[in-house]
Structures are given as structure tokens and as C-alpha cells.
Amino acid sequence: MKLCIAEKPSVAKDIAEVLGAKKRNDGYWEGNGYQVTWTFGHFCTLKEPHDYLDRWKMWRLEDLPMIPPSFGIKLIDNSGVKKQFNVIQKLVNACDEVINCGDAGQEGELIQRWVLLKAKCAVPVKRLWISSLTTEAIKEGFTKLKEADQYNNLYAAGSARAIGDWLLGMNATRLFTKKFGQGKIVLSIGRVQTPTLAMIVARQKEIDAFVSEEYWELKTTYRETEFTATIERLKSLDKANKGLEYLKGHPFVVTSFEIKEGKEGNPKLFDLTLLQVEANKKFGYSAEDTLKYVQTLYEKKFVTYPRVDTTYLSEDLYPKVKGILEDLTIYSHLTAPVLAKPIPKSKAVFDDKKVTDHHAIIPTGVTPSPNLQIEEKRIYDLIARRFIAVFYPECKVSNTTVLGTVGQVEFKATGKQIIEAGWKEVYANDKTEKKEEGDEEKVMPNFTVGETGPHEPKVHQGKTSPPKAYTEATLLRAMETAGKQVEDEEMRELLKDNGIGRPSTRANIIETLFRRKYIERKKKNIFATQTGMDLIDCIHSELLKSAELTGNWERKLRLMEKGEYQLETFKQELIDMVTEITKEVKSNSYKAIYIAPEKSKAPARSAPKEPATGSKEGKTKEAKEKKIKEEVSIETLKCPKCKEYLLKKGNTAYGCSNFQQCGFKIPFVMLGKKLSDKNIFDLLSKGKTAKMKGFVMPGTEKEVEGKLVMSGNFNLELE
């Protein structure tokens, strides 16, 4: 009897139908010489600290780092898991051969291998490796079953990832919780989670520290075309007005007129990250939701395996492309031009060297049922149009550049015209397609070098903008390139091996940060909460925060998949790092940062439990605790002007989280007097402070006393 173990009941049912195993038993299908059973997610996990040593039940600094002599696995404590595992174990012990039909990826390999290890499998194991769940793909996969040993390196990489996450997560989480959590909160530290949070916090600090500046530009309109001066932006209106007067006294002269034909290359096929980026930009879907929708489409046989990190197809897929395009009948108006000619076999699409475990996400050719959810329809449409678009001709454009002068001031204008739409025809009537910045057509008249004439100069006033907050789309891109700002698609491909996290895990990492209230959403933007910022501030070790270093670990895991790096080497590197971090944090006297969970949407911190009073030491502690509570109270109050939450703006002020529009802030120093947390709290809660000494009036050196009062227009005045 051959035993097939699938990744979930629905997949087991599909496989059973193809194999002719039609008898349903409790926990498996049977027939035609096969038994088909299933897992559902992780059945096993690495043992917890207390499974190794009883004393590791307690969270104590003196027990860190925890380094087990060897790592073991155990069943997850769940009645459903235990019941189904007993079925699998019984079948494994009675069969002649096991066929691993798990998810064809690193995580799927790990799930199934751990189950077989726990079940003490002693029979030969084969591997079903397919990229879609269509009947044709399953049949073909069973005619080409692989030896399980071919995937030993993949299993090693999955094990290394799990062990690395255990070593760092278990030790660093306990270390920082005991050092900084003060018993009020678990400070979760992760190999991928923490550098991701560090990127968000770094961007948050750039935004908070940004001070907008006004600038002025000289522009002019000549023959209904707007030109911009090529000089640096002017810092004062006076200079701009003087420039304007100068321009009014001179005619416009065309000095150069150039038209260059160019091409806009076809978009890449989707890997999971690129699909999540596109779905977030177009529909605002979270990475987790997009993964859920495309996974459902895969299980319904409409698209190929989604948890992939390549944008290429294997060369042996080329003969099947025509059939898939012909099966996309609902897109026949778009596929007709492609099918009318031989389909190009471009290296930009077909390249075995760029395909890893699976090829890019494409349609299978199975027509989607009309009762799909709207979200699933949208994701399918993205995948189908992208698949069609890669076989269209490139988009041909005409780029125009015009230079001119007004007196001694040089001006420039550019325009773009689409000559042949090419692949853009696929999106011509797509209402969800949004034009990127610089993508709009701008048709310009023909100019002659040397022509001159009157023009209409003007001054344009603008403001410098702060760095943009991350969206899920830009955060996914940053994770993919380990924080490097990369626009070129080819360069992105090269950096993928060094990205932090895997395409299949990045969505979960982001959701974990939301769930732990380290980050929050405001519309599409992602911001660090005060808890998240405090957590990163208390981590002094760059080893934990560096996206580049984490990306290097990911590269080593990929090398492990290829057999070019050893599990034991990777594990020892992690042990050394954890030991070094533990020693550093234990031996250094960092300033304590009190961190507690957010109780509401507002960034907030909680103080530790109040100490007993009575003794001198107790009173001192009580005073310290009182001071902390005063600080905490500030950040739980709202802006009196617009009712948004308050943020600490560096070392200068408390300001409204909506500062760009609201403008409210309270400086830490007012009229030469440094304000205490109590003073600021009183201003926010009561509208005034108690009487204080030490204010210095402008233009004098005389100190005066008085109360700070918040006026009706939210300005601070001395009374």
C-alpha cells in the first residue's frame, strides 16, 4: 500500500480523485492501492525551553543564553492535531511507501518531514513536486515522482530557519523583557521581525525630525507649454520676485529641441511579493489578505503555486503557453493579438537559471467560476493580465526635451508621447490601473531652435515634503531588498537572495508587528507606535536591528538549499551571536526604558507597579515612579487643538501626531525655563501650570515668576 500525505484535506481529496482512492475513512481516503491522508498546517514544533530543563520554565537573566545540546520536536498541544496525527502514524507504520504530497516549498517540506520523523517512518519516501493542483498537473506529477533525498537541502534550510528563530527569539525576548519590560510586557524580539520594525522606526524618526521649508521656483509659459528654471530653488520670496521682474524684461528664446524614441519594457510576471505590492497599491489589500486570496485561487486550480520568489518561467513551460492563453476565453480580446503570431520565447520571461523551486505565478487556464469573491476576482485579473502583457510588444514612446533661456536664466520642459501602446493595450480599459508618476502623456508642440517670443513668467511657491511613511507595498519592497532603495528591476532581482524574510513569511511578520501593537495603520500608511519606538531604542545591539545582516542570514539559508552551506555552521553562528548579545546586555548599564502595551490607539507607556512605602528607600522609589507616571500621562492625552494623539518630537517638544496640518506643539523650554513633565501635563489637562520662577523675558536678563497659560488659540502665554 502506498500512503500519500497531503498538506490539507481539500488537496488530499483532489489527489484521491486522481488516484482512484474513492473510499472515505476516518482521516483518510483509500482505494486502487493508495491511502491518502493529510495534515493541516504545522503538526509539530520545536520543543520549548522547559522541555529541556525544568529551571528554564522561569524567565531569569542568570539562565541566559539557553542553548540546548540538540534540538527536538514535539506535537502541538491540540486535540484535532493529535487525533489526525494518530491516523497518520498508524498508516505510516502499515504502508510500504510514503509519498510526500506536502506544499512544494521550504515550509511545506519542513511540516511533512517533522510529521514523518515524529511518526518514526521507516519505509521509502518519494516526493510529489507540482506547481498547480489541476488534474493534469497531479497526474503528470505522479508519473515523475522524485526521491525524497533530493530535497534534503531544502529540509536542512527549513530546519536551520526554525532553529535560528528559536535561538534568537527565545533568548533575546527573555533577555530584553527582563532587562526593560519590568514585568509589565513581553518584549518580542525576532530574527526578521526586529530589523523590519527598526526600518519603520528609522523612517518614523526621519518624519518626526523633518522641518518643512518654503521654497520658490521661477516658471514661465511659452506657446502653451510650461517651462521651469533650471537654477536651484530660491529660499526667499524677495529673491523670487526680483527674478520675476528680471524675466519680464526679456523674451523667451528656444536653445534646444530634441525628440528621442524610447521603449518601456514589459512588466515582470508576478512573484508573491510583487503581487502583494500591486494589490496594496491598487486595492489597499494587506499582504496577508493578498496571500489568502491567491492561496484560495491556487487551491481552486485557477492559478499556479503562489509562495514563489521568482518572476520567470522555466523553459520547458514554453510549449504550454499557447494552450493557457487559448483557455483564457474571458480575455480573448486581449489574447487574440498574441495568438495571431508565434509567441516570443524571450529570456525576460523564460530563464531556467532564474527559476528556483517554482516558476512565477500564472493562470492555469482553468476558467474561474462566476461565484468568486470580488477580492479573488481582482487578484486573478491582476495575474491574468500580467501573464498576457509579457507576450505583447514593448511600448514605444517619444520623449521630448526643450531648453530655452530668458536673459541669462535657463529653462527646461519635457514631454512624452506614446507612439505604439504595445503591452499597455492590456491595461487600456482596466479601470483599476492607476498611472504612475511621470507615466502620463504630455504632447508638446514642435519648436525651432532660435525662435523667440513673449512669455508669461510666474513664481511658484512650494514646501519641502518629509520622507514618505511606509505603506505595505513599500515595506514589502524594503524587506525584499534589505532596506536598500532600489528602483531598477534587474537590481532588485540580484538583491532578492539578501532580502529579509521569505515571500511566504513577510505578510505574517508585518501582521505580527500590528498584533503586538509595535506599528499601526493610518489609511494606507504604516507608523511606529511609541511602544515600537521605545523597543528599538532599548536595543543597542546592531546585530539585532540590521536589515543587511538579517539579509545575509537569508542568503546563507538559500545557499543551504543548494547544498553550498551547512546547517551546523549556520547554527553555530547563531549561537555565537546570541551569546555575544546576552553578554553585552547583561554587562552594560543601559538607561532603563519603561515599556508597556498600548491600551488604546494612542501611543502609551505604563509604569511598573508602585513599590511599598514607609522606608526612605520606598519613598525614593515612589518619587521615581510618580515621575514616570507623569511622563506616561502626557502621551495618553490628546492634542487640545485637533484631538489627535501627541508624540515626543526628539528632544525639543511634544507635538501633535497630525502636526503637518494641525501645527500644535509644546516646547520643552519656554522663555528660558525648562518645563518638567508635570508642567506639560498641567498645560494639556488643565490649560495652565502652577506659578513658577525662572522665566526670562525677551530683551532682558531679568528673571520673573508666573504661570504658563494656554490661550484660546492654543498659544502659550505667561501670566
Quick: pLDDT tens for 324-369: 999 999 999 999 999 999 999 999 999 998 887 789 999 999 999 8
pLDDT band per the 50, 70, 90 thresholds, residue 676: confident
Q: Could you tell me if 538 and 180 are in contact, meaning their C-beta atoms sit under 8 angstroms apart?
A: yes
- Which one of the listed residues 305, 380, 470, 594 is annotated catalytic? 305
CA 559 – CA 569 distance, rounded (Å): 12
Sequence-ordered list of residues with C-beta below 8 angstroms from that of 31, at least 6 positions apart, any chain: 16, 19, 20, 21, 22, 23
Residue predicted with more confidence, 463 or 554 = 463
Provide the grid cell at 144: 515523475
Grid cell locating 252: 523667451
Output DSSP code: residue 612.
Answer: P
What is the structure's pLDDT at 698?
65
Query: What does the alpha-carbon distance between residue 555 and residue 507 come to, in Å, rounded to a whole number?
Result: 19
Q: DSSP readout, 64-123?
A: -S---SS--EEE-S-HHHHHHHHHHHHHHHH-SEEEEES-SSHHHHHHHHHHHHHTT--S
Q: Is the pLDDT of residue 656 over 80?
A: no
More confident residue, 273 or 638: 273
- pLDDT band (50, 70, 90) for residue 592: very low
22-36 in b/e burial notation, b at 16+ Cβ within 10 A?
eeeeebbbbeeebbb
Coil, strand or helix at 659: helix
Neighbours of 514 (CB within 10 A): 15
Q: What is the average pLDDT score of the chain? A: 87
SS3 category, 48: coil
pLDDT of 167:
95
Could you tell me the domains of the chain? 2-144 (3.40.50.140), 161-207+468-587 (1.10.460.10), 214-266+395-432 (2.70.20.10), 272-389 (1.10.290.10), 637-718 (no CATH)
Whether the Cβ atoms of residue 637 and residue 603 lie closer than 8 Å to each other = no
Is 604 a residue whose pLDDT tops 90?
Answer: no
Say if residues 16 and 38 touch (Cβ distance below 8 Å).
Answer: no
Tell me how far apart the alpha carbons of residues 581 and 194 are, in angstroms, rounded to a whole number. Answer: 14
Q: Give the CA distances from residue 576 to residues 67, 170, 172, 580, in Å, rounded to whole numbers and listed in that order.
A: 10, 15, 13, 6
What predicted TM-score, i.e. pTM, was given to this entire model? 0.76
pLDDT band at residue 619, thresholds of 50, 70 and 90?
very low
CA distance 147 to 628: 62
For the question of residue 305 being annotated catalytic, the response is yes
pLDDT bin (cut points 50, 70, 90) of residue 609 is very low
Position 693 scores a pLDDT of: 84
Phi, psi (deg, nearest 5) at residue 455: -150, 170
SS3 605: coil
| pLDDT digits 0-9 by tens, 43-67 | 999 999 999 999 999 999 999 999 9
**Gap between the terminal Cα atoms of the chain:** 91
For residue range 131-141, what is the model confidence (pLDDT) as tens digits?
A: 999 999 999 99
Does the pLDDT value for residue 607 go beyond 60?
A: no
Give tens-digit pLDDT for 16-44: 999 999 999 999 999 999 999 999 889 99
In tens, the pLDDT along 382-401 reads 999 999 999 999 999 999 99
